[in-house]
């Protein structure tokens, strides 16, 4: 049972909103009354109540700019940006495909850079805002088979730390959320698929994100690590 939180009047942008953590978080925040801007490659533009769904390819800067502009046109301001868009392919470095490595860097790192860049400018203009970047324990720990994924997530951790020191004094909070393995569609293309029974449910991550958005004033949260009860996997 989620404690009732009134997010009416708050505008929250979520990338990667068509599945996994993004989809679960969008459903939870909608139930709490937030204005939502949901971006995904699978979305078609539609407005239903206080929810604006838009097509977004975070690897395409023009797509990110159009997504940003439509969000501001609809709601005038943005309180929170949650970067959930991500992709992972897992092989040893020597056996991996270069195009897979490039895709993980483009989506997980460069895509987050682009959304932080444009929405961060808006938050600086407002003098307030909160950016939440979904990193990974693979961005803090060396794991076999995670070369490209870890490179993108270690890079994302560095990007987030720089954003923290650049934006903190100007009223904009930036938080890394660092989960272990999550029970989601992320694993659908992985062969063999790992046992997901003891992984973190996506709804649990969504509730942690809601808590971050609704945190008490007077402090900024730089990092949150969320682990499955039995460890990384």
26-83 tens-digit pLDDT: 999 999 999 999 999 999 999 999 999 999 999 999 999 999 999 999 999 999 999 9
Per-residue pLDDT band for 190 (boundaries 50, 70, 90) equals low
User: What distance in Å separates the CA atoms of residue 124 and residue 9, rounded to the nearest whole number?
Assistant: 19
Tell me, what's the pLDDT at 1? 40
Question: Is the whole model's pTM more than 0.75, yes or no?
Answer: yes
Query: What is the SS3 assignment for 175?
Result: strand
Tell me, what's the pLDDT at 214? 94
Tell me, what's the pLDDT at 183? 78
DSSP-derived pairing of the beta strands 80-83 and 129-134: parallel
Lowest mean pLDDT among 50-54, 84-88, 189-193: 189-193
Q: What is the pLDDT of residues 207-229, one digit of tens each?
A: 999 999 999 999 999 999 999 88
Domains (range + CATH), the chain: 11-226 (3.40.50.720)
Q: Give the strand order in the sheet containing 172-179.
A: 46-48, 51-55, 35-40, 11-15, 80-83, 129-134, 172-179, 223-226
Which residues are the active-site residues? Answer: 149
DSSP-derived pairing of the beta strands 46-48 and 11-15: unpaired
Q: What is the pLDDT of residues 164-186, one digit of tens each?
A: 999 999 999 999 999 988 876 66
Q: How far is CA 65 from CA 48, 69, 87, 191, in A?
A: 22, 6, 21, 35
């Amino acid at each position: 049972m989620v404690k009732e939180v009134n997010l009416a009047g708050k505008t929250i942008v979520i990338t990667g909103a068509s599945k996994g953590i993004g989809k679960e978080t969008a459903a939870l925040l909608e139930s709490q009354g937030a204005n939502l801007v949901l971006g995904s490659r699978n979305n078609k533009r539609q407005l239903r109540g206080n929810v604006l769904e838009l097509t977004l390819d975070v690897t395409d800067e023009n797509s990110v700019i159009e997504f940003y502009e439509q969000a501001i046109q609809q709601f005038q301001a943005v309180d929170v940006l949650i970067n959930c868009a991500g992709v992972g392919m897992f092989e040893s470095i020597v056996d991996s495909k270069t195009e897979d490595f490039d895709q993980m860097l483009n989506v997980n790192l460069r895509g987050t850079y682009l959304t932080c860049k444009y929405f961060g400018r808006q938050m600086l203009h407002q003098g307030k805002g909160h950016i939440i970047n979904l990193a990974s324990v693979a961005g803090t720990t060396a794991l076999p088979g995670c070369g490209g994924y870890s490179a993108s997530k270690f890079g994302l951790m560095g990007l987030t730390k720089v954003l923290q020191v650049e934006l903190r004094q100007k009223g904009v909070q930036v938080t890394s959320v660092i989960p272990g393995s999550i029970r989601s569609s992320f694993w659908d293309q992985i062969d063999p698929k790992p046992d997901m029974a003891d992984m973190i449910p996506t709804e649990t991550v969504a509730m942690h994100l809601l808590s971050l958005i609704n945190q008490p004033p007077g402090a900024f949260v730089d990092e949150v690590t969320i682990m499955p009860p039995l460890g990384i996997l």
